[in-house]
């Protein structure tokens, strides 16, 4: 009887946004669209308090993809800024893919801290004027995330069109990462076949011709197994 396959947790998507600024219908359709794809979803509207921040950070660490929805008042929320810093940290460690979405705000304004978005950031800078490290970290996170390939409401609107593009982009990133894992598995399997064939040929032709003593020949055959394991281990680490 075949053993049941181990349970695999569905991929998780973390969404960072300023909930007060986005239409409820947009958020609702986005949640429905992602859940229809059988994805775990954690969405924080920037309303979590300091006591909940550890739980939010854990959700980010457990996620495969983060969708950061920049809006004009995004930097008004301290929680949004904290999330952004954590998302940026994990993405720099190659542990998280990030999709920036520019909702009713231009990519240039976010990256350059200009326009209404920039004005709200200036208010945040004044609020934390005694914490220059936080300001620098926020600026670095904003610039880095905004510089990545993303989606804009200028191109897709602020309704269902943008929702469809977000869902499609998330699916595409997940498929690409799954494809990478499959390619790695195939290559490891290929390494095993090639290494096994090499050891078999060594025993069959080389060892038999050069080891006249039967005891030495048997010893070489026994040693070939740990040699195979060692070769596979080294190749797997490459």
CB count within 10 Å of CB 129 equals 9
Instruction: Label the pairing between strands 12-16 and 97-102.
Output: unpaired
d(CA 90, CA 133): 19
CB–CB of 80/51 below 8 Å?
no
Q: Please identify which of the residues 83, 116, 155, 165 carries the catalytic annotation.
A: 83
Based on the residue annotation, tell me whether 83 is a catalytic residue of this protein.
yes
Which residues are part of the catalytic machinery? Answer: 83
């Amino acid at each position: 009887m075949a053993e049941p396959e181990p349970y695999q947790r569905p991929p998780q998507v973390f969404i960072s946004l300023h909930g007060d600024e986005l239409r409820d219908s947009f958020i609702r359709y986005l949640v429905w669209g992602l859940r229809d794809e059988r994805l775990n979803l954690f969405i924080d509207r920037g309303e979590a308090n300091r006591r909940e921040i550890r739980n939010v950070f854990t959700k980010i660490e457990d996620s495969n993809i983060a969708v950061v929805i920049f809006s004009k008042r995004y930097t008004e929320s301290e929680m949004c800024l904290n999330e952004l810093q954590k998302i940026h940290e994990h993405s720099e460690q190659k542990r998280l893919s990030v999709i920036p979405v520019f909702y009713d705000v231009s990519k240039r304004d976010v990256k350059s801290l200009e326009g209404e978005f920039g004005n709200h950031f200036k208010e945040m800078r004044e609020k934390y004027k005694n914490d220059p490290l936080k300001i620098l970290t926020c600026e670095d996170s904003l610039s880095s995330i905004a510089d990545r390939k993303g989606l804009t409401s200028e191109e897709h609107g602020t309704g269902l069109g943008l929702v469809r593009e977000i869902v499609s982009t998330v699916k595409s990133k997940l498929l690409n990462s799954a494809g990478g894992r499959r390619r790695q598995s195939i290559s490891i399997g290929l390494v095993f076949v090639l290494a096994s064939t090499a050891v078999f040929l060594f025993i069959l032709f080389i060892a038999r011709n050069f080891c006249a003593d039967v005891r030495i020949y048997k010893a070489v055959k026994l040693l070939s197994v740990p040699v195979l394991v060692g070769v596979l281990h080294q190749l797997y680490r490459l």
